[in-house]
Amino acid sequence: MSKTAIITGATSGIGAAFARRLAQDGYDLVITGRKKDIIQKLADDLSQQHNIKVTVIIAELSNDSDFNKLADAVKTREDIEILINNAGYSGYDRHFEEVDIAEHEKMVKLLQVVPMRLVSLIVPGMIKRGKGAIINVSSSASFLPISTVSVYGGSKAFLKYYSQSLWQELKDKNIKVQALCPGFTETNFGKDYYSKETYQKVKNFMRSPEKVVECSLSSLKKNQPVCIPGISTWLVAKMFPVLPWGIYCWMGSRMMPFK
């Protein structure tokens, strides 16, 4: 019987790395993205290399009509084994008050509401079949409040908490749930957010998307609710929250992409 993985935001970076790895493992794919030429090439390459079926949905998932295109493509499928909520973007190179509230709401919708909608759509089938896995891509920013990423970091913190709660709810139904919390990763995400100078400074600390995916899937096999790839990211996540608030804020300010 076929098995399918749903991956949002699969055009590049972590999403594309998940697509390549799961295609290698024999999964049919339903992938979403906004850059048609790039994601279609990925789909064509994977289908030819691994003899799998790849369905491409071109969508801005914060738009309800685009989300419904994805919903229509997956709601009747009975072979969905993995859902990876990866779609997102890095934020803004401006302070909170300089960004229109509609843009903040768009980010909250994409990072919080869209994953919940997909989980609600797909989990009943997983429960019926008695197996499944959900990976919600959160961030190391979910552990460290930084003033210039208030909405992004807050949304990712929600996604981590939500995933941990889901893990507790679904573990007895043989459904695994993971909050994946990568730190600096070699993707367009960082290039879009940081200046060229800052990006070069942090590049040496970055992990490849492939290493992030390997860590995630290894953690998933162990049914761990939170995956933090890399020792440096793990230390940030575990040590920063216990520091005195003044030191915590000072260290957070050092990580700001702009002042």
Catalytic machinery residues: 152
Distance CA 115, CA 65 (A): 16
The one-letter amino acid at 26 = G
Query: How many angstroms from the chain centroid is the CA of residue 201?
Result: 24
Q: How far apart are CA 108 and CA 102, in angstroms?
A: 10
Measured between alpha carbons, how far is 184 from 139 in angstroms, rounded to an integer? 9
Question: Angle at CA 6, nearest 5°, toward 2 and 9?
Answer: 150
With tokens 């995933």, the residue in question is 163
Is 164 exposed, middle or buried (CB count within 10 Å of its CB: 0-12, 13-18, 19+)? middle
Q: How far apart are CA 105 and CA 110, in angstroms?
A: 9
Distance CA 136, CA 177 (A): 8
Question: Which residues is 207 bridged to in the sheet?
Answer: 185
